[in-house]
Structure 1
Amino acid sequence: MPLSEHEQRLLDQIEQALYAEDPKFVSSVRSVRARSHLRRSIVLAVVGVILGLGLVLIGLISNLIVLSVVGFVLVVGSCGLCVKAIRPRASISVASVAEAGRPGKAPRPTGLRSRMEERLRKRFDEN
């Protein structure tokens, strides 16, 4: 059952208060969740690759092209899952959440794209 709008707003306020009060606890909880999610995704990807390779081999031995294609798709999908799990995400940092709670200050964007855009703007502003 989804939360009502009022309950969702209250939950968001509680989360922001927790971020502001105890950033060390928040970062430790996030790191534990991230590690367990990463480990589970990698194990799932490895199992998918092994099953996909098995299907490709069985399809080649028994001359079933469809089985080989399904195995290949499974291998590619599993590799994509592994890359997606390993790739660093542009997540909201504790400092940016704390700054967002302050009026008049916007959180600073993070990530490669925003840094590249910022550098490009600085170059054009200098000229």
Structure 2
Amino acid sequence: MQEATVPLSDEEARLLQQLEQSLAAEDPDFASTLRGSKFMARNRRVAVLSGLGFVAGLVVMFSGAVTKMTWIGVIGFLAMVGTAFLFSQAWKRGIGNRDETPAAPSGRGGGQPKASGSFVDRMEERWQRRRDEDGL
């Protein structure tokens, strides 16, 4: 039996937003845990299933090649492409713990590391951290 959901009114949505903001201000660790735990679990599940689907598509593609039935190979290839796309989307959304931060701040500015940035910026920060750790 499925329950019907009723959308929130504007006033209720505003109150909910205020409650979320006050929770985030009072206890940011708890708020981030609540916000991301189900999301990360879903992304991990999608990533695992798409990995298994990719392997299954690979098997189907090779079985089509061995039996010389091109259409089976094409189906396997399409399954591989589709599951690779699903995996990449789950990876982009995040399948790991984003709360992991290095113990010591990086030596470049002495300030807080940026919360987000471009791919190149993140790779640069990782490179700098590795160089700093190896130098110790």
TM-score, normalisation: structure 1: 0.58
1:40 Cα deviation after fit: 0.7
Higher relative contact order (CA 8 A, sep 6+): 1
Paired position in structure 2 for 1:6: 11
Per residue, is there more helix in 1 or in 2? 1
Paired position in structure 2 for 1:111: 117
- Identity level (%): 35
Report how many residues are paired: 96
Paired position in structure 2 for 1:36: 41
Q: Distance in 1 between matches of 2:11 and 2:25?
A: 21
Q: Distance in 2 between matches of 1:32 and 1:85?
A: 14
TM-score, normalisation: structure 2: 0.55
1:52 Cα deviation after fit: 0.8
Residues 6 and 64 from structure 1, CA distance in 2 versus in 1: closer, same or farther, beyond 3 angstroms? farther
Deviations 1:69-90 (A, max 9, x none): 221121122222222322366x
Paired position in structure 2 for 1:86: 91
Unmatched tracts of structure 2, length 5 or more: 95-113, 122-136
- Alpha carbon RMSD of aligned pairs, Å? 2.8
Unmatched tracts of structure 1, length 5 or more: 90-107, 116-127
Residues 3 and 75 from structure 1, CA distance in 2 versus in 1: closer, same or farther, beyond 3 angstroms? same
Paired position in structure 1 for 2:75: 70
